[in-house]
Amino acid sequence: MSVDVIGRQLIRAGQFYEGEARATLRGAGELDRSVATEVESRHGNVNTLLGVLGLKVGFLRRWVFTTSLLFPLNDQGLQPSAAWVLGLERAVGR
């Protein structure tokens, strides 16, 4: 069983966010009935921080089942929720 904290800095990556809602004026002060938002970006670095819970279970002498749960510890980056990682390993040898 393992517990990890993984941090990284993406240099000059910028961060995307949903901009302010805007109404469009058409012609002589006529208001368009739709409201739009645009994806905007902020310049700078992105600092991500993940927590990881992991487990490895051996079976049939050479096989290992691995699983990890990754979850964000801050609100930066592209991953908005927890994610599972599953794996199967086999030892090679005599």
Rounded Cα gap, residues 32 and 83, in angstroms: 41
Q: DSSP per residue over the chain, as a string?
A: -EEEEEEEEETT--EEEE---EEEEETTTEEEEEEE--EEEE-S-EEEEEEEEEEEEEETTTEEEEEEEEEESSS-SS--S-EEEEEEEE----
Check residue 87 and give its pLDDT.
96
Query: Hey, what amino acid is at 40?
Result: E
57-88 tens-digit pLDDT: 999 989 999 999 999 998 877 666 889 999 99
Check residue 31 and give its pLDDT.
62
Q: Can you give the pTM of this predicted structure?
A: 0.60
Rounded Cα gap, residues 87 and 56, in angstroms: 9
The answer to whether residue 12 scores a pLDDT higher than 70 is yes
33 band by pLDDT with thresholds 50, 70 and 90? low
